[in-house]
Amino acid sequence: MHNPQLNDNGELIHLLSTEGLPRSIMTQILDIAESFMEVSAREVKKVPLLRGKSVFNLFFENSTRTRTTFEIAAKRLSADVINLDIGRSSTAKGETLLDTIDNLCAMDANLFVVRHASSGAPYLIAEHLRRIGRDDIHVVNAGDGRHAHPTQGMLDMYTIRHYKKDFSNLRVAIVGDLLHSRVARSDIHALTTLGVPEVRAIGPETLLPKHLDKLGVHVFHDMAEGLKDCDVVIMLRLQNERMNGALLPSAGEYFRHYGLTPQKLALAKPDAIVMHPGPMNRGVEIHSAVADGPQAVILNQVTFGIAVRMAVMSIVAGN
Amino acid sequence: MLANDPLPDAEAQCRQLAELIRPLLPKNPALVGIYSGGAWIAERLRELLGLTEEIGLIDVSFYRDDFAEKGLHPQVKPTLIPFEVEGRHLILVDDVLYTGRTTRAAINELFDYGRPAAVDLAVLADRGGRELPVAATWRVWDVDLAAGQSLVLGRDESDQLAWRLENA
């Protein structure tokens, strides 16, 4: 099957999803990110790899943090970064997505970082670029609808490898609203590809997608059972807009069952790490004592995320 | 050089290189080895010259000038410079000096850490073919190779360095 992320030599040209990404490429991303961590620790946090290249941040959906980390990553690679305020520009005036892309191609873009509320938008752009013969332009998905958020997935893998060294002996739990979470989907595909033997999903039935078992994920509705002996706990943000519907009774009720408190965390292994893609809702999915506690690696995830995004952009731009 | 000519002993060459450097050893020198061959040689030189400080290790992948043609090298190792570069007398160490492009990239990278007082270059083999105005301060072996040949330094299980000749 044609994999739009890879060229004919099997090299990464776009990062659209962790699904279908070969293990060798995931490992390459993590290894190269490790070298970029060293660059970020220098006095001059810059290497000349993407000098003269133009990176366009196309955020059709808002996300200050993700956009900022992509911007920092591109700047540390010496690229020129252009942030498009899509909501207030051409799209608002009725221009189609692909017309916007054609215009940016005419401005000699080299790489698009795309965040879009519709699943598949980055694929559409990558396919369009192939059709018009612009395989020198690359696409990195920065989150599309409920579908995928591959750089978050890879930075989560970087975090796990950093603290646990090896994937082959781990029990990893993902907790919360997996149904609406592109982070969870990207994490599950990456974790299984990298050989994590036990991936667990913990949450109320209304917030877990059906057929998780088909992905090899063990489903738990009881937090205490699910957390038992885990090495890694990935908490997901409970989006406020889910709270008022039929999916959940109330924030307080949710916290009582699925909020990560020090007592619940004590059921995981003593050296378990706690991750969260941010932004956190304290007192909804996570207790402050855990979020600020010694097992939380949430802010380190943000730092690792810059190095991982540098790795992804420099790999695709070179292929 | 012909494919079946015997290759010199790389360990003996490291000792020769140390003897060349010794009389001219700058005050307060710092060794920086270029991955992977140069890093092994720098480690040898550190012992032979009786230097106590840890050596620096440099991977020039992020500074190469052929990124646009070849993309990123799939195996990149973190550069580690465990000392202040500012004001130091650096001895950059590589196994083979050829076009000079790796040396150029390494010097650029080092300057992102600070402004060294001086940079010298020590290599085991010089195969000519320079494309940049770069010269070694110290070299042990001048070797003629065909364009398709490459000289590769390897390290075996007992930690011994040895040359091998590869044909493209």
* pLDDT the model gives residue B68: 85
Two tokens, residue A267: 């059921």
Q: Which member of B68, B75, B79 has the closest CB to residue A38?
A: B79
Q: Whole-model pTM?
A: 0.92
Tens of pLDDT, residues B87-128: 999 999 999 999 999 999 999 999 999 999 999 999 999 999
* pLDDT the model gives residue A119: 93
* pLDDT the model gives residue A98: 93
102-121 in chain B: CB under 8 A from chain A: 108-109, 112-114
SS (H, E, C) A110-134: CEEEEEECCCCHHHHHHHHHHHCCC
* pLDDT the model gives residue A282: 94
CB B125 within 8 A of CB B14: no
| pLDDT at B1 exceeding the cut of 80 | no
Q: What residues form DSSP beta bridges with A15?
A: A140
Tens of pLDDT, residues A138-162: 999 999 999 999 999 999 999 999 9
* pLDDT the model gives residue A245: 64
CA distance A52 to chain B (A): 11
Chosen from A6, A47, A78 to mutate, greatest number of chain B CBs within 10 A: A47
CA B106 to chain centre: 10
CA A274 to chain centre: 16
Touching check for B67 and chain A: CB below 8 Å? yes
* pLDDT the model gives residue A239: 79
Neighbours of A25 (CB within 10 A): 20
Touching check for A38 and chain B: CB below 8 Å? yes
Two tokens, residue A28: 């390459």
Mutual angle of helices A64-76 and A23-40, in 10-degree steps: 80
Q: Which member of B62, B74, B78 has the closest CB to residue A49?
A: B62
Burial category of B160 from C-beta neighbours within 10 Å (exposed 0-12, middle 13-18, buried 19 and up): exposed
Touching check for B72 and chain A: CB below 8 Å? yes
Two tokens, residue A297: 């690696």
Q: Which residues of chain A have pLDDT under 70?
A: 1, 87-92, 241-246
Q: Which member of B63, B67, B114 has the closest CB to residue A318?
A: B67
42-101 in chain A: CB under 8 A from chain B: 42-44, 46-49
* pLDDT the model gives residue A63: 86
Two tokens, residue A78: 């010496």
Touching check for B98 and chain A: CB below 8 Å? no
Between CA A233 and CA A18 the distance in angstroms is: 20
* pLDDT the model gives residue A244: 62
Q: In what order do the strands lie in the sheet with A80-84?
A: A80-84, A54-59, A111-116, A138-144
What average pLDDT does the segment B158-163 reach? 96
Touching check for A40 and chain B: CB below 8 Å? no
Tens of pLDDT, residues B46-88: 999 999 999 999 999 999 999 988 999 888 999 999 999 999 9
* pLDDT the model gives residue B102: 97
